[in-house]
Amino acid sequence: MIPQHAKPVAAWLFSICALIFFMVVLGGVTRLTESGLSMVNWHPVTGWLPPLDAETWEAVFADYRQSPEYHKVNAGMTVDEFKSIFWLEYLHRLMGRMIGIVFFVPMAVFTFKGFIKGALLWKVTGLFVLGALQGVLGWYMVKSGLVDRPDVSQYRLAAHLGLALVIFAAVLWVALGLLKPVPDVPADGEQVSRRFGRAAWALLGLISVTIVSGAFVAGLDAGHVYNTFPLMDGDLIPDGLGDMSPPYLNIFENVMTVQFDHRVLAITVLLSVAVFWWRAGRAGLADSQRLAAQVLGAVVVVQLGLGISTLLLVVPISLAALHQAGAVILLGVNVWLVHEFRSGPASGEAP
């Protein structure tokens, strides 16, 4: 029996998940349009309003003209051209602030009413702190592109995306636990559920690594080269994968290796999910468990298709944004799958 006051708390958390999803996609579009370095200052408390008059626009543009991106990429840009890259970054930062408000205000109200208390209060407080740290990490990422090289560090980009997805997954997990505090028991028993649960966790780890590897692809603009599939530079395993020294740098800084790794990981995800889906169809699972496996199988096929299309068409913004959106959806479905196969009470059980 779900306590009545658990439903509005869960609905609030699901709305936070939706906002984080759109925030991640907007961040991807900001990256794809090279708009992320247009705001060279960060005012976390006072920076709510955009420039509202010509004088303010000129002041903001003057700050931008001191940045390496202006000197090395956009020299001679007019203030009207600057506005075209400013707005996406402004909206991205504004949405981050809005998520903070949409999280904090209902949390305070629900806590005052007694809907959130005990362990659940500690969980949502921790999530709020993580959200604040994400804002700091975002500025840390932007700063890497304001020094010498007019591009953000792929390491900081991957960390920024990774933390966003950790928050998304954690919020989703707590929300699911509120609506389903006790897991279904499959017809074949709890031992089968535990075995599939371990496999679902393994899939979650694999998918998470694949998404982070995609951040390195984005950070190095690696999708703009080797735009064939399945061959890469004319071979299944191209020459040059380990040209950098020390060797471990190839994983993070060699454009060829970074794209190759992402391809291999994506195919491994597809095959692993296919095996899981096939085994789930033959086991006596609960209906909700089987449904989660089926949805995961469908989403991974669509996601792989989006990734291949994005590569072959040399990263059109619309397809690349859909591919990033698909990554978040795939992660979310996998979290749901893990939640269905958990044993015992959920970690986000109803208060």
pLDDT of residue 1: 58
Helix, strand or coil, per DSSP, at residue 309: helix
Give pairs for 151-154: CB < 8 Å, separation 24+: 151/219, 152/36, 152/37, 152/219, 153/219, 154/215, 154/216, 154/218, 154/219, 154/220, 154/252, 154/253
Band of residue 344 on the pLDDT scale cut at 50, 70, 90: low
Angle between helices 317-340 and 154-179 (to 10 degrees): 40
The alpha carbon torsion through 178, 197, 166, 22 (nearest 10 deg) reads: -70
The answer to pTM > 0.85 is: yes
What is the helix (H) or strand (E) element at residue 206, kind and residue range? helix 190-219
Which letter does DSSP use for residue 79 in this model? H
* pLDDT value at 346 more than 70: no
Among 135, 125, 126, smallest CA distance to 99 is for 135
Helix, strand or coil, per DSSP, at residue 235: strand
Give residue for tokens 């010509």.
54
* pLDDT value at 2 more than 80: no
Query: Tell me: the pLDDT tens digits for 109-134?
Result: 999 999 999 999 999 999 999 999 99
* pLDDT value at 62 more than 80: yes
Query: Tell me: the pLDDT tens digits for 214-234?
Result: 999 999 999 999 999 999 999
The separation between CA 154 and the C-alpha centre of its own chain, rounded to angstroms, equals 15
31 with 114: CB under 8 angstroms? no
Query: Tell me: the pLDDT tens digits for 7-35?
Result: 999 999 999 999 999 999 999 999 999 99
| Residue 7 CB neighbour total at 10 angstroms | 14
State percent of the chain over pLDDT 90: 86
Distance CA 200, CA 198 (A): 5
Q: Which residues pair with 235 in a beta bridge?
A: 232
CA atoms within 13 A of residue 171's CA, in its CB half-sphere: 27
290-307: average pLDDT: 97
4 with 351: CB under 8 angstroms? no
**Interacting residues of 54 by C-beta distance below 8 A, sequence separation 6+:** none
